[in-house]
Structure 1
Amino acid sequence: METLAPASLPGARLPTLLSVVVPVFNEEGVVQHFHTSMSRILDEIGCPAEIVFVDDGSSDGTVRDVEALRDADPRIALLSLSRNFGKEIALTAGIDHARGEVIVVIDVDLQDPPELIKAFIAQWQAGNDVVYGQRIERDGETATKKLTAFLFYRTMRKLSRVDIPADTGDFRLMSRRAVDALKLCREQHRFMKGLFAWVGFKQCAVRYHREARVAGTTKFNYWKLWNFALEGITSFSTAPLKVATYVGFLTAAFAFVYLIWIVGKTLLFGDPVQGYPSLMAVVLMLGGIQLVTIGILGEYVGRMFDETKGRPLYLLKQLLPAQAVEEVHTDLFAGLTGRPAHAVVEARTPVR
């Protein structure tokens, strides 16, 4: 592991409470490895902490494993979503319910080293509100995956109006005020890497070497990665709409020039227009461009439709707070809904 930040700042204060948010989905047998590594790091840091596991509708024994760990470690909290909502929503749920002065987001597979949290805290002590891990190498990934990730981040930087750092994932530390700002963003289609950058505040990178998975398998295939990339581009850029407009203008200009050439050739040289093959090729090309343009428009209209429905981002099936945290929270919205902690506890606007 390589890092370009100190592991601590002598004399600087530690967070009053450190929350570690960990989304999990079908990670039976992996959470134990993660807990062993994370517990060691939290013990070394020495400040009060909670580990918030967010189960995204797992169908294996993930919840059972987390509950067993919680029985032995009072720092563990468990949020179980009512179904599989996707990683971005699971991250949102965990961040909504994290109670720390400082919140760290990390994956359970240990590709992102928990040891780096010490360097994150040092940068927070130096005055940064957001400290993100920036990958130098990506072990355990295919050349195709590395190439597509490289192209995606560079494309996003070119198209987006938000400066999204290259080669970064969800692994990062956020101050309480950055988290409170993030919780104001309640759009249905969530691209968290973009939202992390959008909230602004003082941010810095800590570079590191990303390891291969310690156990289990990734839940992302290439189709899911494609949809994820599409989500990111359409959430933070209108460039596809502009491209469709430019292509339309260019196609119209080409068709106009071609028409003049055909008419002039026929009038001057008496050369008749060639038969149906050329006509069919032009029609198919124009039809294809129109369908692509309609598809691009449909992506944005569909997102507008989802936003107007006003549905909650997620529903909680179970909420088990960390027993070690002095102030025990049950239902964040019990005062408004009168419902028990295991009922629906998500609202469009978070209550703080």
Structure 2
Amino acid sequence: MHPTDFDRTPGRPELSIVIPVYNEQANLPELRRQVAEVLPQVGADAEVILVNDGSRDESAQLISRICSEDSRFRGVHFSRNFGHQAAVAAGLRYARGRAVVVMDADLQDPPRLVLRLLERWREGYEVVYGRHSKRQREGLGKRLAAYAYYRLLRRIVKEEIPADSGDFCLMDRRVVDLLNAMPERNRYIRGLRAWVGFRQTAVEFDRPGRFAGEANYTFTKSLGLAINGMVSLSKVPLRIATYFGLMVSATSFLLAVFFVVQKLTVGFEIRGWASTVVIILFLGGVQLLTIGIIGEYISRIYDEVKQRPLYIVRALENVEEAAPPDPQLFDGPVR
């Protein structure tokens, strides 16, 4: 039985494609062309949801024009920039398809691969994600950082986080409804995608460089996303702080015993300020690191307690309302 054979809601398209957009005016015309070429090959009804994440260029006007010219395209406009993960979450909320694809607007996720993702979904997989076999036009430093990050993440997280994969994926309706039902604000979609489980598989592809323009994800934003992924999915950073405390305490105790023995046996005296300064700086660094780690978790508690919305929608185009959750969300079909 196909994973969504139980879901035959009238009027629900076969496929939704969610595309977050932030300052992508140089890429939107080509993106529309390539996506429009793929849609007729889907073999069923499809929709494309363009989420304007508070763009400061002409992206909003281009999205409006695309939506007015092609009813398959839908526009969701934020009141300001809320971030990539919030834009993905909004797209998932408004997507109505039995299968939902998430991809970037810079064409680094080739639209033609949507057909391959659909093939694996129709074979019975609930999550089909793209895995980068090669990254084109990316510096050595960025490739090494991505390689190290994914390996570190896999070691500190209990769930199986796919290495060398991003947000580009296809998710079954049931998976999307589960993600929409999660109340947390600090979302790491690719981590939550792995957390929900179900049958998952990868589609390998060479990730091209941006079609046009400069990358919107700066080093600072990438670092923030990486920290968010580790903190939102694992308690290991807190344990690292504990381990540092135990290590410093044990080292201090051993040094104290050593100095006492030296004093009683050979009359050794500690001289100079260098050792004292080094010890103070080391302890200060450990304390600041520990406070920083704890602060990351507390800041997330603070965000959750405020209960502010994840995003604010300013305008909708070709969209009436958010898709309702599936009635069999937590029950599912019996296989």
TM-score (normalised: structure 2): 0.91
What CA distance in whole angstroms lies between the structure 2 residues aligned with 1:89 and 1:204?
Answer: 25
Partner of 1:320: 317
Equivalent position to 1:280, from 277, 282, 287: 277
Shift of 1:246: 0.9
What CA distance in whole angstroms lies between the structure 2 residues aligned with 1:16 and 1:300?
Answer: 39
Equivalent position to 1:142, from 134, 139, 142: 139
Match for 2:300: what amino acid?
R
Partner of 2:33: 36
Shift of 1:29: 2.4
- C-alpha deviations, 1:1-41, integer Å up to 9, x for none? xxxxxxxxxxxxxx942111000001112111001001001
- Two-structure CA RMSD over aligned residues (Å): 1.6
Shift of 1:97: 0.4
Q: Does 1:289 align with 2:277?
A: no
What CA distance in whole angstroms lies between the structure 2 residues aligned with 1:47 and 1:350?
Answer: 21
Q: Does 1:164 align with 2:158?
A: no
Taking the TM superposition and a 5 Å limit, the aligned residue runs for 1:3-152 are: 16-152=13-149
What CA distance in whole angstroms lies between the structure 1 residues aligned with 2:13 and 2:48?
Answer: 15
Partner of 1:339: none
CA pair 190-218 structure 1, distance change in 2 beyond 3 A: same
Match for 1:20: what amino acid?
I
* Cα contact 2:132–2:206 (8 A) shared by 1: yes
Identity across the alignment (%): 39
* Cα contact 2:67–2:317 (8 A) shared by 1: no
Shift of 1:146: 0.5
TM-score (normalised: structure 1): 0.87
Partner of 2:207: 210
CA pair 69-16 structure 1, distance change in 2 beyond 3 A: closer
Number of equivalenced pairs: 316
Partner of 2:8: none
Partner of 1:10: none
Equivalent position to 2:260, from 243, 259, 263: 263
Shift of 1:110: 1.0
Partner of 1:299: 296
Shift of 1:277: 2.5
Shift of 1:214: 1.0
Partner of 1:309: 306
Q: Which runs of 5+ in 2 are unaligned?
A: 1-11, 328-335
Shift of 1:265: 0.7
Shift of 1:122: 1.0
Match for 2:316: what amino acid?
L
User: Aligned to 1:53, what secondary structure does the other structure show?
Assistant: strand
Partner of 2:7: none
What CA distance in whole angstroms lies between the structure 2 residues aligned with 1:350 and 1:175?
Answer: 13
Match for 2:204: what amino acid?
R
Moved over 4 A (4+): 349-352
* Cα contact 1:96–1:350 (8 A) shared by 2: no
What CA distance in whole angstroms lies between the structure 1 residues aligned with 2:103 and 2:273?
Answer: 59
* Cα contact 1:266–1:273 (8 A) shared by 2: no
* Cα contact 1:50–1:77 (8 A) shared by 2: yes
* Cα contact 1:95–1:179 (8 A) shared by 2: yes
Q: Which runs of 5+ in 1 are unaligned?
A: 1-14, 322-328, 334-348
Shift of 1:46: 3.0
Match for 1:98: what amino acid?
A
Equivalent position to 2:170, from 173, 189, 194: 173
